[in-house]
Amino acid sequence: MTNGFTNAGLREWTWGWWLLVLVGVLSVVAGVIILFKPSDSLATLAVIAGIFVLIDGIMELIASFSRQTQNRGLVALLGVLSAIVGILLIRHPIAGVVAIALFIGIWLVAVGVVRLAVAFEDPRNRTWNLVVAGLELIAGIVIVASPDIGLTTLALLVGISFIINGIGLLALGRSLHALGQAAAA
């Protein structure tokens, strides 16, 4: 194989493809629920967002232990931040839109910055990473800049971000699965 990868190395690198697909599906489902049920209680939005952010944090932490992950420290930091925000949102659904908006806005900015850094480091999928990073950064900045944003607007921004993130994770999981299948053949 090229780039110094062996078939066994590729299988090791791609074994978790199904986790990406699972998180992608959960992300899309959470985004759709948030978009179609913006009038539901804030606690429900906080718990849905918290579950997704916690799973995302766990996935980032797992990825930070892989030898193939670039910027392992940055990925680990993002994972810890995501896990903390996720646990807080699940454990203590905040009674006000302001606190939820700030938590989600800060998380979106952090994820956007990391995705932006990855886009400039890795030429593969650069355009997709730049587009998604830009959307996450814009959504996060809008939310942080106006924390008293209405629940409907917050639901729209978060729902769209979850759907875009989920589609990206589904595509990545499918690509990793295909790569692993090719390595096994």
Largest Cα–Cα separation, the chain:
55
Q: What is the reported pTM?
A: 0.55
* Mean pLDDT of all residues belonging to the chain: 81
31-84 per-position pLDDT tens digit: 888 888 776 656 677 777 788 889 989 988 988 888 777 788 888 888 998 898
Question: Hey, what CATH class is 6-184 in?
Answer: mainly alpha
87-123 per-position pLDDT tens digit: 887 887 755 556 777 878 888 899 899 888 888 887 8
In this structure, of 74-78, 130-134, 144-148, the range with the lowest mean pLDDT score is 144-148
Alpha helices in 37-96 (DSSP H): 42-64, 72-91
Q: State residue 170's pLDDT score.
A: 92
| Phi-psi group of 124: left, alpha or beta (phi > 0 → left; psi -120 to 50 → alpha; rest → beta) | beta
The encoded tokens of residue 120 equal 């400039």
How far apart CA 170 and CA 28 sit, in angstroms, is: 9
Q: Domain coordinates of the chain in residue numbers?
A: 6-184
How far apart CA 82 and CA 76 sit, in angstroms, is: 10
Taken as a whole, the chain contains a residue count of 185
Which positions ≥6 away from 22 have C-beta within 8 Å? none
Which positions ≥6 away from 67 have C-beta within 8 Å? none
